[in-house]
Structure formats: structure tokens, C-alpha cells
Amino acid sequence: MSKPSFIGVGVQKCASTWIHRILEDHPQVTVSNPKELDFFSYHYHFGFDWYESYFSGSLVVGENSPSYFCDPRVAERVYQYHPSMKVIVCLRDPIARIVSHHAHEVRLGHVDSRLTFTEALENNPMYIDQSRYAKYLDIWLSIFPENQVLVLLQEDIQKQPAMVASDVYQFLGVESDYQSAFLERKANLSQQAKLDFFESGLKKVAKFLRLLGLNSVVGNIKSMAWARALRQSNMQSIHQSLPSMTEDEVQRLDAIFRDDMRCLQKITHLDLDVWPTYQRCFEAANDK
């Protein structure tokens, strides 16, 4: 067993899976399997031995659990466990995060796709709360030294993945020039089948073959380019089936996040111009 030296704390739907994969791929880093242990949030009562049983190998080990960022108990728990822990946070435009979060919940079947965004926000207040970045980041920065907290933007990952990966590696003290195979890959796309019977039929055939002990056959077929292309042709972005956010809904959210974004820029000194929400709230009014 090893004691983790870093954690990715989210935010949910802000590229935590990409961060996990580029670290998993690095030869000097070991990450937990599964990705999200949720120890300091949901499973703290299991104890440190349970937690550390998921880690072994190199000196640089860690995990990524998006549930940590917005749980006000977690930062202090992490600090008491390991005061030198390095913390990775990734943020994105707060309204874009809400849209992605909603699509994710619809894909999982937790939320009716026919709900308007106003109805969805009323049903799940955490949509908004998890986008109040300054509110929660301030807790982490009040407990951990600034040099132990790396704050990233998902928009930078999309534009310059190699540069962001290098920043992450350098932050953790491993070879920063390593080129991960996952740099350009997108993760956790919110997609659904155009034809449900086709997708469910493929899954039933795969399940039947596995029952016959033909796991390798299923794996070989899934790895073939034609099979991947056939299945992908039946998929569409789940956003296409969701009601669009109205202008009134956008303006309401802009008003909610305005002060939080102002505080976030002050505590991080990040360039938030890449966020359309920030641009609407500040650039147009020359109030930066």
C-alpha cells in the first residue's frame, strides 16, 4: 500500500476523466482503479487502510473524485490526512458545466429529458451550487498553501492539451515532456442511441456471446474499425434531444454567477475571458 500524494477534486463535468487518463498513462504516476474512490466525501468511515489499499507502485500516486470539491468537509479531512497533498482542480464556464451536468443526468436516466432548464434547476439545486467555484475553492485555498493547488480550465485543455498536461506533470514533479496517448481524446461524451432497438440488440448479442465464454470474440469485434463506425453512426449527442436554454434562463444564471466569477478571478488570477458567461457579465459592461 502507498499513501497518495495528490488528488483531483473535480469539478464534476470539468475534464476529471481526461486528467485521470493522462496521469494513468504516465510511467511515473499511479492512479487508483476505479477512478473515483470518493473516500473523503462518501466513504470516510471505511478508514485509511481501506483507502490506501487502492494505491501501490511509484512514489507519485493519487486519485480523482469530483465529489470532493463541493463537500465542505473534505478539504480539512484531506489536510489532516496529508498536509503536503497536492490538489488539482479543473473548472469550465459555469453555465456550460450546468448544461453538461444536466445532459449527463439525462443520459443516466436520472432526469426526464423533456424538462425545461428552469424545471431541471428547480429539481436539482446542485446544478447551480457546483458551478459556484469561488465559494468552494476559497475553502481549499484557506486550508492548503497556494503552491499545493493547481487550478486548470477545461477550455485550455480543449485548445492546448499538451501544454496543460505538461503543467500537470510539472506540478506533480514527474517528467513534464511525456506525451500521453490520451491527449487528444474526449471522454464521457453525452450520447444516446438514435435507434434504441439497434443499440440494445448489440448489447444482447454481446451478453449472449460472453455467456458462451466468447469474451475474446466480443473484444475483437469491438476493436474493429467497421464495428466502431457502425455503432457510432447510431449515436447522437444527447444535447440534440434537450430543450434549449432560453434567453431569460441564461440571463438569470448570469446574474447568479456574476459575483462568484468576480471573486474567482481575484483569488486565482485566471484569465476567464474564455468563458462566454464571463464575457456577457463583464466585457460588455466594461466591468472587469
* Res 207: pLDDT: 77
CA within 13 Å, CB half, 42: 6
Q: Are residues 224 and 255 in the same domain?
A: no
* Res 221: pLDDT: 74
Q: Are residues 223 and 269 in the same domain?
A: no
**Alpha-carbon torsion angle 87, 92, 94, 95, nearest 10:** -150
Q: How far apart are CA 158 and CA 9, in angstroms?
A: 19
Q: Are residues 45 and 164 in the same domain?
A: yes
Q: Are residues 209 and 95 in the same domain?
A: no
List, for residues 225-280, the tens digit of each pLDDT value: 766 666 656 555 565 668 888 999 999 999 999 999 999 999 999 999 999 999 99
List, for residues 10-42, the tens digit of each pLDDT value: 999 999 999 999 999 999 999 999 999 999 999
CB proximity list for 44: less than 8 A, separation 6 or greater: 73, 77
List, for residues 82-100, the tens digit of each pLDDT value: 999 999 999 999 999 999 9
Residue showing cell 446574474: 255
Q: Are residues 13 and 148 in the same domain?
A: yes
48-62: average pLDDT? 91
Residue 49 lies in a domain: yes
Maximum Cα interatomic distance, the chain, rounded to a whole number of Å: 66
Residue 173 lies in a domain: yes
29-31 sheet: strands from edge to edge: 29-31, 60-64, 6-8, 86-91, 149-153
The answer to whether the CB of 103 falls within 8 A of the CB of 238 is: yes
Q: 203 is in which domain, residue-wise?
A: 195-233
Q: How far apart are CA 160 and CA 166, in angstroms?
A: 10
Q: What percent of the chain has pLDDT over 70?
A: 86
pTM of the predicted protein model: 0.82
The answer to whether the CB of 244 falls within 8 A of the CB of 123 is: no
* Res 288: pLDDT: 45
Q: Are residues 94 and 63 in the same domain?
A: yes
Q: Is the pLDDT of residue 199 over 80?
A: no
Q: Are residues 42 and 89 in the same domain?
A: yes
Number of domains making up the chain: 2
- Whole-angstrom distance between the N-terminal and C-terminal Cα of the chain? 48
Q: Are residues 220 and 260 in the same domain?
A: no
Q: Which amino acid appears at position 25 of this protein? A: D
| Bigger pLDDT: 105 vs 38 | 38
- Which of these ranges, 68-72, 191-195, 209-213, has the smallest mean pLDDT? 191-195
Here the CATH number for the domain that contains residue 139 is: 3.40.50.300
